[in-house]
Amino acid sequence: MSANSSAKAVETVEIGGVAHGGFCVGRLASGKVAMIRGALPGERVRVEITSERSKVAYGRVVEVIEASADRVPEIWPEGAARDIGGVELGHVSYPAQLRWKREVLAEALRRNGSAELEAMVSAVIPDWEVESLGDKPGRTRVSFIIDDQGRPAMSEAGSHQVHAIKSFPLTVPGIDELRLFERPLGFAPGTRVKAVAPSASAPVLAVGGEVYNADLIPTTPRVREVVEDAKFRIFASSFWQTDYRAPATLSAALLAGIGEVHGFETLELYSGSGLFSVFLGRALGKEGRLTTVEGSGPAVKSAAYNLEHAGFGGVKTLRGNVDARLLNSLEFGERVSAGTLVVADPPRTGLGEKTAKAICEKEPFRIALLSCDPVSAARDLEAIRKEGYVLKTFRAFDLFPYTFHMEALAVLEKN
């Protein structure tokens, strides 16, 4: 998005429906579609136009003329006043947040998938909803950038402009122990800082390749997590499910979704530090076979360690970018005892059509797909559906209250 001469124009807009990214949709006086932050369906608002493209404008609410009954006091006034991203639904009542996310996901299934995909989901679960774990904020990881005065800052929505902040409302209490907003942190301007509050070790700051404790003293680069009765050691800088409820929730949902897989040959893609791998190892049993693939070297090291210490030292942990070429090079299905399974937990961009097709060409009996973006979820599911797979399980989770993010799990089987 690029700013232009109308960047600070203000218009009165009637708000329509919701859209992915935390936006609501309206139209400017010119007829141009506007994607608006801080609005709710049915409202009449004053909107500051922050940027424009040829066919769409972007803006933020600066005044509410007629409010929705779903509007609540902003959970993060500081961020809203400066148009900082990260708490896009901070003005929305929690029940309305769940409805918002369901509508966005349903629209993605229709628009980015197909009518056939939407019908398939509706046939499996006619009245599916976005499942809630409660409205309590629970982020154990949050990233900042250091501003010119050494303070934690975050970016303005749709911009490279950063603003120092004095609070952030979505984290667990452990993040407070790092005293992020109470003192200069001493890092150079532009430095990216990741605050981490693990479940089984002290909170730390990950800064590039270094890790610091709450006293800003260098410390071990690894942190510890416990999920149910499973123990994990991971690098503080590595990816881990952000909300404290997510690891157990998604692991349990995955196991329930794939059903009985004892003795299966399984390929786990985008396997990270081994969260799902350990639980898959248990489900597969000694007769099963598990191969994991992950692009991050540190995460692969963590996964190997976690699997070995969980009693699954025989699991093959591979490092590589998940794509059609890599998938075509892997042996899979040659030693089938009970069945074959592929589990994939890709980043927000999703599998992509080529990778999805390459997975299907391995002809697994069952595919489990976890998605953190509704658009990529719909595209990936449609690609898999076209290869002859039918949906068996579909669930959506709100693991990120007050944001537009959600998680979806789908399990498909060869027709």
- pLDDT per residue as tens digits for the range 356-395: 999 999 999 999 999 999 999 999 999 999 999 999 999 9
> What is the spatial distance between Cα 209 and Cα 192, in angstroms, rounded to a whole number?
11
Q: Which of 372, 391, 396, 412 is catalytic?
A: 372
Give exposure, 156-189, as e/b (b: 16+ Cβ within 10 Å). bbbeeebbbbeebbbbbebbeebebeeeebebee
Tell me the residue ranges of DSSP E strands in 151-262. 152-155, 162-164, 192-196, 204-207, 210-212, 222-227, 230-235
The residue-averaged pLDDT of 110-128 equals: 96
> What is the spatial distance between Cα 124 and Cα 393, in angstroms, rounded to a whole number?
7
pLDDT tens column, 10-25: 999 999 999 999 999 9
pLDDT exceeds cutoff 90 at 111: yes
The residue-averaged pLDDT of 21-46 equals: 98
CA nearest 379: which of 388, 371, 391, 367?
371
Q: What integer pLDDT is reported at residue 415 of this predicted model?
A: 87
The helix (H) or strand (E) run that includes residue 62 is strand 56-66
Phi/psi of residue 255, each to 5°?
-65, -40
Residue linked to tokens 């592929």:
342
Q: For the domain 10-71, what is the CATH code?
A: 2.40.50.140
Q: Is 246 exposed, middle or buried (0-12, 13-18, 19+ CB in 10 A)?
A: buried
pLDDT tens column, 258-286: 999 999 999 999 999 999 999 999 999 99
The third-level CATH classification (topology) of the domain covering 101-134+244-414 is Rossmann fold (3.40.50)
- Strand partners of residue 10: 48
Q: What integer pLDDT is reported at residue 291 of this predicted model?
A: 97
pLDDT exceeds cutoff 60 at 7: no
Secondary structure class of 349 (helix, strand, coil)? coil
CA nearest 358: which of 326, 321, 404?
326
The residue-averaged pLDDT of 61-73 equals: 98
> What is the spatial distance between Cα 106 and Cα 225, in angstroms, rounded to a whole number?
34
Range name among 92-96, 194-198, 330-334, 340-344 with the lowest pLDDT average: 330-334
Predicted confidence band of residue 337 (pLDDT cuts 50, 70, 90): low
Specify the amino acid at residue 83.
Answer: D
For the question of residue 372 being annotated catalytic, the response is: yes
Give exposure, 364-384, as e/b (b: 16+ Cβ within 10 Å). bbbbbbbbbbbbbbbbbbbbb
Enumerate the known binding-site residues for S-adenosyl-L-methionine.
241, 270, 294, 345
pLDDT exceeds cutoff 60 at 300: yes
Residues 6+ apart with CB under 8 A from 81: none
> What is the spatial distance between Cα 407 and Cα 242, in angstroms, rounded to a whole number?
12
- Strand partners of residue 25: 35
> What is the spatial distance between Cα 280 and Cα 301, in angstroms, rounded to a whole number?
18
Predicted confidence band of residue 336 (pLDDT cuts 50, 70, 90): low
Secondary structure class of 384 (helix, strand, coil)? helix
CA angle 75-77-154, nearest 5°? Answer: 100
Most confident of 1-15, 112-126, 146-160: 112-126
Residues of the chain within CATH 3.40.50.150 domain(s) are: 101-134+244-414
Q: What integer pLDDT is reported at residue 158 of this predicted model?
A: 81
Specify the pTM. Answer: 0.94
Residues of the chain within CATH 2.40.50.140 domain(s) are: 10-71
> 333 or 33, which is more confident?
33
pLDDT exceeds cutoff 60 at 1: no
pLDDT exceeds cutoff 80 at 5: no
Q: What integer pLDDT is reported at residue 335 of this predicted model?
A: 66
The residue-averaged pLDDT of 185-200 equals: 97
- Give how far Cα 42 sits from Cα of 14, 17, 87, 104, 130, Å: 7, 8, 21, 16, 22
Q: Are strands 289-294 and 407-414 parallel, antiparallel or unpaired?
A: unpaired
Specify the amino acid at residue 94.
Answer: Y
Predicted confidence band of residue 66 (pLDDT cuts 50, 70, 90): very high
Answer yes or no: are the C-beta atoms of 153 and 164 closer than 8 Å: yes
- Mean residue pLDDT across the chain: 96
Enumerate the known binding-site residues.
241, 270, 294, 345
pLDDT above 70 covers a percentage of the chain that reads 98
Answer yes or no: are the C-beta atoms of 231 and 274 closer than 8 Å: no
Q: What integer pLDDT is reported at residue 2 of this predicted model?
A: 39
